Amino acid sequence: QVQLQQSGAELVKPGTSVKLSCKASGYTFTSNHMNWIKQTTGQGLEWIGIINPGSGGTSYNVKFKGKATLTVDKSSSTAFMQLSSLTPEDSAVYYCARYGNSGFDYWGQGVMVTVSS
Amino acid sequence: DIQMTQSPASLSASLEEIVTITCQASQDIGNYLSWYQQKLGKSPQLLIHSATSLADGVPSRFSGSRSGTQYSLKINRLQVEDTGIYYCLQHYSAPLTFGSGTKLEIK
């Protein structure tokens, strides 16, 4: 069965970076694009960007360019998102979600990132 | 960016009632529209893809429809487990955009 297992909650200081992971299993990792989504109470769901695990090609929401960097490691079927220059506004739950069946058909469990000094 | 205007923001309905949630796209997005249900503390789950197609394992009381740039999610015979927040998503063009969500509670 398809599973997306995300890394654990992060408490990080302002100005630093954090790298989140999303390990895929149960399907051929390079067959489906992977999305990343931010969820906050105030802003709802925001699409950050998408990566093609086969080619490494990416597309970003302009709002998150310079903030988020998407990469993959095909050998471990893992997608990564690095968030840089963190501020309290980056505190949120972040999800990875597979693009399949004309939608986001599988989601990770989400990871809470808290930016606080 | 394509704006997805979702309504209502919240609604309360009784068991076995029929409810409808709508998303209005700011421009043509074809059938590149999907619906998601998010239960408290959980990840969103795909309900409807391609505007009208039921996702695998989703009860048939859920259905999606389209009229021009207006998209609707209909829930027949509301059940207790349907409580949650519902979102639409357009994936016609980047940046992909979600509706603001509809919080559904059962009376």
pLDDT(B90) > 80:
yes
A110 interfaces chain B, CB cutoff of 8 Å: yes
Check B49 against A103: CB less than 8 A apart.
yes
Please name the member of A44, A47, A95 whose beta carbon is closest to the beta carbon of B96.
A47
Check B43 against A95: CB less than 8 A apart.
yes
List pLDDT tens digits, range B19-76. Answer: 999 999 999 999 999 999 999 999 999 999 999 999 999 999 999 999 999 999 999 9
Rounded-to-integer distance, Cα A32 and Cα B26, Å: 28
What one-character-per-residue DSSP string does chain A give?
--EEEEPPPEEE-TT--EEEEEEEESS-GGGS-EEEEEEETTTEEEEEEEE-TTT--EEE-GGGBTTEEEEEEGGGTEEEEEE-S--GGG-EEEEEEEEETTEEEEE---EEEEE--
Give average pLDDT by consecutive 10-residue segment, chain A, 117 residues. Answer: 97 98 98 98 91 97 97 98 97 96 94 97
B100 interfaces chain A, CB cutoff of 8 Å: yes
